[in-house]
Amino acid sequence: MVCAVCSLSASVGGGLFFVQAENDRKRIKTIEDDVGNAAAMVIYSECDYKGKAVVSIDVAPDGEFNTMNMNEMDPPGKSFILPPGIKLGAYSKSNQEGVKLPYNGPTFQRCTDIKSLEAESGCDPSRPGGCEITI
């Protein structure tokens, strides 16, 4: 009897794990498939777009230019979605030091480690070379 109850609870628990894993996979796929339509860059506190949104920057309307610099992220960014029109420089250390990984939207990262960043959206006509220069 005890063995049958253990077997049943293991089967139910295992089934719930697989259902949760499948729901999580669908949630991730939906986020990644829709990155081209996103209206803002969002950096999450946990991998796989979980946890709280620690940073968000909207895509600049046509003719406008937005920038963001963060010298220290607490907590560090662990995953992000980056829609078209936003450029991100993600750093492995605080104060924009260490390895810099440049990203141009649309793209995403399921698991990374961002300690500081610089981001821009729109076109800065005052910059030499215009918008074709990457940060």
**Read out DSSP for the chain?**
-HHHHHHHHHHHHHHHHHHHHHHHHHHHHHHHHTGGG-SEEEEEEEGGGEEEEEEEEEPPPTT-EEEEEES--SSPB-EEEE-TTEEEEEEEETTTEEEEEEEESSEEESS--BSEEEEEEE--TTSTTGGGS--
pLDDT digits over 48-66, tens only? 999 999 988 888 888 788 8
Q: What does the pLDDT read at residue 81?
A: 94
Q: What does the pLDDT read at residue 11?
A: 53
pTM: 0.77
- CATH number for the domain running over 36-132: 2.60.20.10
What residues does each domain of the chain span? 1-33, 36-132
Q: What residues in the chain have per-residue pLDDT under 70?
A: 1-15, 129-135
Q: What does the pLDDT read at residue 130?
A: 60
Q: What does the pLDDT read at residue 122?
A: 87
